[in-house]
Structure 1
Amino acid sequence: MLALARALLNEAAPAWWQDARRRSLLEMAVALHDFGKATMFFQEALQGERRKDAFTRHARLSALFFLHRATAWLGEEAEGHWLPLLFAYLAVLRHHTSLKNVADELHPPDEAEREVLEAQIQAIPADKTNAYLAALDLPEEIQAVLTFSPEAFQSWLGDEASTLFRTWRRRWRGWKRETQDAEGYWAFLTGFSALLDADKLEAGAKGYLPSRGDVPSDAVDCYKARVFGPPSVEGLNAMREQAYREVLAGLRSPDHHLYTITLPTGMGKTLTGMATALKLRDLVREKTGQAPRIIYALPFLSIIDQNADILEQVLAVALGLTEGEAPSASSPDPCDPEDRGKGLVENRLLIKHHHLADVQYRVQNKDADKIEEAVRELDYAASRLLTEGWHSEIVVTTFVQLFNTLLAWRNAAARRVNKLHHAILLLDEVQALPAVYWPLVRNLLTEAAERLGAYVILMTATQPYLLEDAHELVPNPHAYFSVLDRLDVHIHLERRTLEDFVADFVPERGKSYLFMVNSIAAAQELHSLLEDALDEDVAFLSTGVTPKERLERIRALKAGRYRFAVSTQLLEAGVDVDFDVIYRDLAPLDSLVQAAGRCNRNLRAGRRGQFHIVHWIDDKDCSYAHRIYDPVLLARTQTHLEGHTHLREPEFLDLLRDYFLDVWETGIPWDVADALWEAVCTLRFDGEKDKACVLKAKEAPGAYLSQFCLIEQQPYKWDVFVQVDERAVAVWNEAKAILRALRRDHDVWKARERFARIKPCFYQYVVSVALKPETAPHWDDDLRIYVVQQDVRDVYYDSVTGFKREQEAGGVFL
């Protein structure tokens, strides 16, 4: 394991750990992190002869033995190296658990713990242990003190440990008062991450640890030439090509670490952003000799799957893994066993990671005779470890996973921190980050660039100015926004009921319409009104509809099979649909601009889109917008829209700059971001305490990192599995069969593996809704989830509008 940790540190250790003494302390900690497993208590539990208890725990014993020997090695230098000594100790102490507030860790063992530790020490065979310690690959000066004496260790615990921890408490208080940045935070987490990652890989994937892979820097060019042919010389495709070339031309050296790409919706940011990241990767490799990983983060699962599929196609074409035509653009069906493992690209080059992603890791099959057999899938344990550890050149993931890694307090997230070192962080649709966290995001990304050498690229049509010193790669973004004049914006801020709106609505022949509302309850009501008024089918999209059906309907919209559609904010960003006319209920200005990107998106010849901003209310005169959005952001939006009744697209987009500056100055509750940033700088993790999300806390000051929540949990919502078709029934029965097998065989890992195989399909039939206890569907005690069984489906679920409102608690959800 020590060799693995050294390899990780050689690739990912920041300057802080490059000091010889600090590095030696960390390597010593890695070597001794499992020392406590030498007790007979642990060995008996390992053989199934003893139940796990306080005597079988090994982390605290290992951490204290490390301190015992490290202070002996350092001697008088221990005082000057107190901080790396503390960080190395904490890395061992918490290598199996979430991180706690560091200030709470600075206490020696109490009397009860001492009794356990003394029993553990006496239960360690000294001769065998010293033979093991002598064989460790550590410097001679460390090996000279690396001996285990039960008497000496117990004496140290009784005398010197208390003094050391007392000194640490005094030092830590002073350090917290003086620290103004996150240098210590990144130093600790990168060292901790190396230990965690090496430990996991050694245990479950050592034989499969992939070597670094080569991704052609011209991969996107190859794909574009293959799929699209010669560059277009007119229309929107010509503008896309111009933007693509200008962005790449603007990236000449890796001297900058902070970048933005600001382009209107529909301008091909996915391919442009990836081409930029690949070129930057090549420039960094030329300068440093090491190619950075690319971590591509997006806000929504739907566009993650869509963009990951596109990137796999890009690599398949560039690497010559396809025969004949370019691969299909359609995403694999997670419920179709034939679609599993069809990918041709090794996962050391590209992985997709989110909580519902299929856990599979493909490697090169050297014995393959056919292209379709060029890769093979590793076993579940290795696949999971390599995927969750981001062992790939390109990682496509969620904002949640990225920011849980940047603000790591969980063991699993902290393991990935070493992958941030010198990485290219490509963030798409960054305006989707909650405004309350903007100052925190600015600090995190800026310090990641400074402390970890990371490169940050923010992509969106609506830049919220997250990075103050970023280098914009589009020479003149305004030129694209001013030329790309695709639509007219009509502003109607007078409050109207849905009934009144539909009564006056007269569609124009030959035009398509999208109605975007702020809640499912409003969407269902509007859909009913429109279906009564129109002699055509109206598509419906919301999170009350199962993901499987949502995907099918989005594909139908793209194919033009519906003229009318009602949707919540699902279609707001990243989804490639195109309508002639959009009516969008009032929302913060950046959301309105994103919604407008679905209007005349492809700049069809001879047409101008019509985008209407409306303000819908219910029959009690309550605004749907004010139930969902921050009233401060809505007030600023209305202020910037007032006085306008009609704007062309460039004029509408011009409002954004002043709006964002306004939000930065007066619209953000800085106490939340400041409290979390203070927690970063002072290593206030507290991952073992059950505290509310900081957004729900009465007072933000004193918050812990464990209180960060990018997506605020809604405790009144419950997951419901809906048996909408025979395939849903089959996957439900399979999940039940897995549970029955677990009870019979008691094989937890096998059960986890089997469920991981069906998990992506299982959640294609799950909706998250508010429920009334008296009308909730059946609760399944085995799978711990509500289920709408097929024979009562029509009671709870409408085949068009999804989960029925009369079964919901309150009726207002997204």
Structure 2
Amino acid sequence: MNLFEINSDYYSHPDYPLENHLGHSAASFEDILHKEAAWFHDLGKLTREFQSYIQSEGKKSFTTHALESALIFLENKKFELTPEIFAAFYAIIKHHGNLEDTEIYFYNKFQDVDDLEDMYPNLDKRLETICQRLGGLQQPDIEAICDLFGQGDFLSENGLTGIQTYFLIKEVFSRLIFSDKYEAIFKRSYTESTVHHWKKYENNLVTLIASKNNEMADLRNRARQEILDKYQANKNKQIFIIEAPTGIGKTFSALHLALIICQSKGKKKLITALPMTSIIDQTYEEYSAVTGESELLKFHHLTRSKVYGFLHEKERQNETKYFSRQENDFLAMSWSSDNIIVTTFNQLFNLFYSNKNRDLIKFWTIRDSVVIVDEVQAVPRILIRDVAETMTFIATNFNVDFILMSATLPEISRFFPKKLIAQLLDNRYFSLDFNNRYSIRVNPDINQYEGLISEVKSCYQKNSSLLCVVNSKKLSLNVFSDLKDDFEIKKETGELFFLNTNFIPKHRVDIIRNVKKRLEDGLKTLLVSTQVVEAGVDLDFDYGIREFAPLYSMIQTAGRINRENREGMNKTAQLLVTDTIGFCPYHAKDLLKNEVLALFHTEIQENNLLSVLKEYFHIAFDRTSKDYLLKPEMDKLNFETVYAKFSDHFMKEIPLITQVFIEAEKGIYNSFFNRIDDIYDKLQDKNLSLNKKMGYKSQLKDEIKKISQYTINVSEKETEDLQSFHILVPIKVCPHQMVQDESKYSLSRGWLGEETLLINF
């Protein structure tokens, strides 16, 4: 499909023919709508202004091309506004930006012909030149286009509203921006891999599982087989729910199920999303033991780019070079060259709700995939209806099978159409003897700080190891500091550890590693922590104390108590829940305090939690709003508003904060600074080619990801006396001296500012 013959003297990029760029971009997907959008998207580069700009050296003047390209496309379509035509038009006009609130954006842009021509001087002449250079194509009628969009209700009048159009626009936009950037980097069309190794990976997994011979192996195998058998009886469904207690082997069971679905339904990708980066690292290691790393990608904001040596299996003989940093960055951030992705909730849900170019460049990859959503109870209740509605639509319209997993029974199944869902595991596993590792006891009489400290000391004397989790950073530091004084008197400071988000990521990993080693060695250990320890942290304590929190959070903490079901430990292993003592970051409607106190009026063993969990989530969801939060805005194609509302409710609102680099090791700041300053100097070269410039920017991105292991977010007020890191890295620096003298940061207590202690995120 070649829509235009364009003179090879016209360029899209320096010394690169426009016709090649358009043809390769269009050939990247076998979809007629994409091909049309791709052929038109850069026709605006045929203007004299742009050709002069692309071939000039030194200072370059401002020029445009997306608007011109979009107008020519719409004229070619005779101003018809079907959802498909409008999606392509929208994608073309915004392919270098983000999607906006549609009606407002187009009304503001096209409400007045004179305003449009003032904003884009000589627009008529540029359009005339483009059309002449295309062999006399019909020149767009700007006034007619303004009349089309100048009405405030053009969406409803043309039948363009609704979730169908919302996701159609996202998919057309995603394919266009991906193929455009891919072609600009690799100078060729993208070819989707048709080689998959699902059966090989399944065989590897079965072999790995067979090698695990421990007390839990038989039970885990039975549960896994039940999941697979029930899937075979429900193959026609698309949303599969696995509700199972911690320790039943959900990770490998879900992976096994996903690999079978990929084989039986011809899926192209397997995507696993988890709520926290700490869980991702662990899951990635488990997956890599099954799949290797060649087709496996770990992707979140702290990961560094994967190194790719070739694009696809068929290129192995011809492609021997390793790609540049820019090429590696692009392949990773677009999810285009890996068949198995391990990522965060943020990355997955941003595909559905973000309006940002950087997020949507990978939206197209979700089609024909299996998506595992682990710890689904972490989705805020206020968003659960919208998330279920979105998954239902994606499942039925994008050929996606979802596997939703939880250890705390969030009753999410009530929000899906019954014809789509299948429960794959019987709830009896919650009541079996193995699932009797600990008990939970609530004691609301422990409601003062002194009572908490006394209880921690008393319980630690009776147990070899103890975990104390509280709700706020300030309270966690107070508890640790008081205990530290006591431990110093007894000369037992080596037994006490502290963890919260005031530690840089590198130190958090070190603390968890040290605690884990002590626990495995049976050494006396006490850890004071915030919620950061609750999910995905593989620690096994004898006893736990938890400040009152939402029930699912309490049970996450309990999952660190007698985690390995050690012999005889279930008689004494317990999670003791106190009343709220310090600042409580949870809303009352999430706590359901009176209801939980009634449910836990007596001590409850783990294998008796099922009925309690069912009742809790029944109450919780009965009190959840029956209204959608995001869907009305999705129906109106308000892309920017959808993302703003999602972000406001998915992530806690954070006050004014600043990112600070902690120079935890002497000289490490200078090491980072010198490498970044060298990149900065190279970027100042006015004769730098576009490819080299992008390469240096990729190097910068890689350095910033390394720096992130040493950074934390702190109150802006506490950074006024700190110097800036570098002109290219807009963060502050806490020098090593302030770590040594503990004036700002302590290796044992983290960031010490009072303002930051009051910010709970």
TM, length-normalised to structure 1: 0.80
Question: Please, which of 470, 473, 485 is the counterpart of residue 436 of structure 2?
Answer: 485
User: What residue in structure 2 maps to residue 737 of structure 1?
Assistant: 677
Deviation at 1:390, TM superposition (A): 1.1
User: What residue in structure 1 maps to residue 449 of structure 2?
Assistant: 498
**Residues 664 and 736, structure 2, Cα contact 8 Å, conserved in 1:** yes
Question: Please, which of 381, 396, 409 is the counterpart of residue 435 of structure 1?
Answer: 381
**Residues 409 and 685, structure 1, Cα contact 8 Å, conserved in 2:** yes
C-alpha spacing 1:204/1:364, structure 2 compared with 1 (3 Å): closer
Question: Please, which of 493, 512, 535 is the counterpart of residue 465 of structure 2?
Answer: 512
User: What residue in structure 1 maps to residue 399 of structure 2?
Assistant: 453
User: What residue in structure 1 maps to residue 77 of structure 2?
Assistant: 70
Q: Quick check: 1:797 aligned with 2:750? A: no
Q: Which moved more, 1:480-489 or 1:214-223?
A: 214-223
Partners of 2:203 and 2:430 in 1: CA distance: 22
User: What residue in structure 2 maps to residue 60 of structure 1?
Assistant: 67
3-state SS in 2 of match to 1:493: coil
**Residues 205 and 385, structure 1, Cα contact 8 Å, conserved in 2:** no
Question: Please, which of 613, 625, 632 is the counterpart of residue 678 of structure 1?
Answer: 632
Deviation at 1:642, TM superposition (A): 5.2
Deviation at 1:239, TM superposition (A): 1.8
Give ranges in structure 2 of 5+ residues lacking alignment.
Answer: 1-20, 314-318
Deviation at 1:740, TM superposition (A): 4.3
User: What residue in structure 1 maps to residue 308 of structure 2?
Assistant: 362
User: What residue in structure 2 maps to residue 98 of structure 1?
Assistant: 98
Equivalences for residues 188-587 of structure 1 within 5 A: 188-207=169-188, 211-217=193-199, 219-223=201-205, 225-226=207-208, 229-230=210-211, 232=213, 235-252=215-232, 254-285=235-266, 291-316=267-292, 345-346=293-294, 349-364=295-310, 377-391=322-336, 392-468=338-414, 469=418, 471-483=421-433, 484-504=435-455, 505-506=457-458, 507-508=460-461, 511-534=464-487, 535=490, 536=492, 537-560=495-518, 563-587=525-549
Deviation at 1:170, TM superposition (A): 5.0
Tell me which amino acid in the other structure corresponds to 1:92: I
Question: Please, which of 710, 733, 740 is the counterpart of residue 650 of structure 2?
Answer: 710
Deviation at 1:574, TM superposition (A): 1.6
Question: Please, which of 103, 114, 117 is the counterpart of residue 117 of structure 2?
Answer: 114
Once the two structures are superposed, residues 331-351 of structure 1 have per-residue CA deviations (whole angstroms, 9 ceiling, x without a partner) of xxxxxxxxxxxxxx32xx221
Equivalences for residues 705-784 of structure 1 within 5 A: 710-726=650-666, 728-729=668-669, 731-734=671-674, 736-738=676-678, 740-742=680-682, 744-745=684-685, 748-773=693-718, 777-780=722-725, 782=727, 783-784=729-730
Q: Which moved more, 1:40-49 or 1:351-360?
A: 40-49
User: What residue in structure 2 maps to residue 142 of structure 1?
Assistant: none
Partners of 1:582 and 1:683 in 2: CA distance: 48
**Residues 309 and 323, structure 2, Cα contact 8 Å, conserved in 1:** yes
C-alpha spacing 1:260/1:410, structure 2 compared with 1 (3 Å): same
**Residues 731 and 762, structure 1, Cα contact 8 Å, conserved in 2:** no
3-state SS in 2 of match to 1:559: helix
Deviation at 1:257, TM superposition (A): 0.6
Deviation at 1:606, TM superposition (A): 1.7
Partners of 2:361 and 2:749 in 1: CA distance: 42
Q: Quick check: 1:633 aligned with 2:590? A: yes
Partners of 1:3 and 1:637 in 2: CA distance: 65
Question: Please, which of 661, 664, 674 is the counterpart of residue 618 of structure 2?
Answer: 661
**Residues 541 and 566, structure 1, Cα contact 8 Å, conserved in 2:** yes
Deviation at 1:283, TM superposition (A): 0.9
When the two chains are superposed, the root-mean-square deviation of aligned CA atoms in Å is: 3.2
Tell me which amino acid in the other structure corresponds to 1:164: L
C-alpha spacing 1:692/1:394, structure 2 compared with 1 (3 Å): closer
Deviation at 1:509, TM superposition (A): 5.2
Tell me which amino acid in the other structure corresponds to 1:677: K
Tell me which amino acid in the other structure corresponds to 1:113: L
Partners of 2:712 and 2:95 in 1: CA distance: 35
Deviation at 1:500, TM superposition (A): 2.7
C-alpha spacing 1:571/1:773, structure 2 compared with 1 (3 Å): closer
C-alpha spacing 1:125/1:309, structure 2 compared with 1 (3 Å): farther
Tell me which amino acid in the other structure corresponds to 2:47: T
**Residues 325 and 695, structure 2, Cα contact 8 Å, conserved in 1:** no
C-alpha spacing 1:206/1:556, structure 2 compared with 1 (3 Å): farther
Deviation at 1:610, TM superposition (A): 2.7
Once the two structures are superposed, residues 523-545 of structure 1 have per-residue CA deviations (whole angstroms, 9 ceiling, x without a partner) of 11111222233443211111111
Percent sequence identity over aligned pairs: 24
3-state SS in 2 of match to 1:540: strand
C-alpha spacing 1:720/1:681, structure 2 compared with 1 (3 Å): same
3-state SS in 2 of match to 1:201: helix
User: What residue in structure 2 maps to residue 36 of structure 1?
Assistant: 44
Tell me which amino acid in the other structure corresponds to 2:392: T
Partners of 1:669 and 1:769 in 2: CA distance: 34
User: What residue in structure 2 maps to residue 650 of structure 1?
Assistant: 607
**Residues 442 and 600, structure 2, Cα contact 8 Å, conserved in 1:** no
C-alpha spacing 1:442/1:735, structure 2 compared with 1 (3 Å): farther
Deviation at 1:220, TM superposition (A): 5.0
C-alpha spacing 1:364/1:44, structure 2 compared with 1 (3 Å): closer
Partners of 1:756 and 1:204 in 2: CA distance: 17
Partners of 2:276 and 2:260 in 1: CA distance: 26
Q: Which moved more, 1:114-123 or 1:387-396?
A: 114-123
**Residues 360 and 380, structure 1, Cα contact 8 Å, conserved in 2:** no
C-alpha spacing 1:812/1:165, structure 2 compared with 1 (3 Å): closer
Partners of 2:229 and 2:187 in 1: CA distance: 41
**Residues 174 and 363, structure 2, Cα contact 8 Å, conserved in 1:** yes
Partners of 1:310 and 1:206 in 2: CA distance: 36
Deviation at 1:305, TM superposition (A): 2.0
Partners of 1:350 and 1:98 in 2: CA distance: 29
Deviation at 1:5, TM superposition (A): 5.7
Partners of 2:518 and 2:321 in 1: CA distance: 38
C-alpha spacing 1:661/1:187, structure 2 compared with 1 (3 Å): same
Partners of 1:735 and 1:516 in 2: CA distance: 40
**Residues 369 and 401, structure 2, Cα contact 8 Å, conserved in 1:** yes
Partners of 1:509 and 1:709 in 2: CA distance: 42
Deviation at 1:245, TM superposition (A): 2.3
C-alpha spacing 1:498/1:751, structure 2 compared with 1 (3 Å): farther
TM, length-normalised to structure 2: 0.85
User: What residue in structure 1 maps to residue 149 of structure 2?
Assistant: 165
User: What residue in structure 1 maps to residue 18 of structure 2?
Assistant: none
Tell me which amino acid in the other structure corresponds to 2:445: E
Partners of 1:375 and 1:542 in 2: CA distance: 45
**Residues 777 and 786, structure 1, Cα contact 8 Å, conserved in 2:** yes
Tell me which amino acid in the other structure corresponds to 1:491: V
Give ranges in structure 1 of 5+ residues lacking alignment.
Answer: 14-22, 72-77, 135-146, 286-290, 317-344, 368-373, 618-622, 695-704
Once the two structures are superposed, residues 35-81 of structure 1 have per-residue CA deviations (whole angstroms, 9 ceiling, x without a partner) of 11111211222234586666x1111111111111221xxxxxx65x5
Partners of 1:255 and 1:462 in 2: CA distance: 26
C-alpha spacing 1:361/1:648, structure 2 compared with 1 (3 Å): same
Tell me which amino acid in the other structure corresponds to 2:199: S
Tell me which amino acid in the other structure corresponds to 2:249: G
C-alpha spacing 1:569/1:33, structure 2 compared with 1 (3 Å): same
**Residues 480 and 528, structure 2, Cα contact 8 Å, conserved in 1:** yes
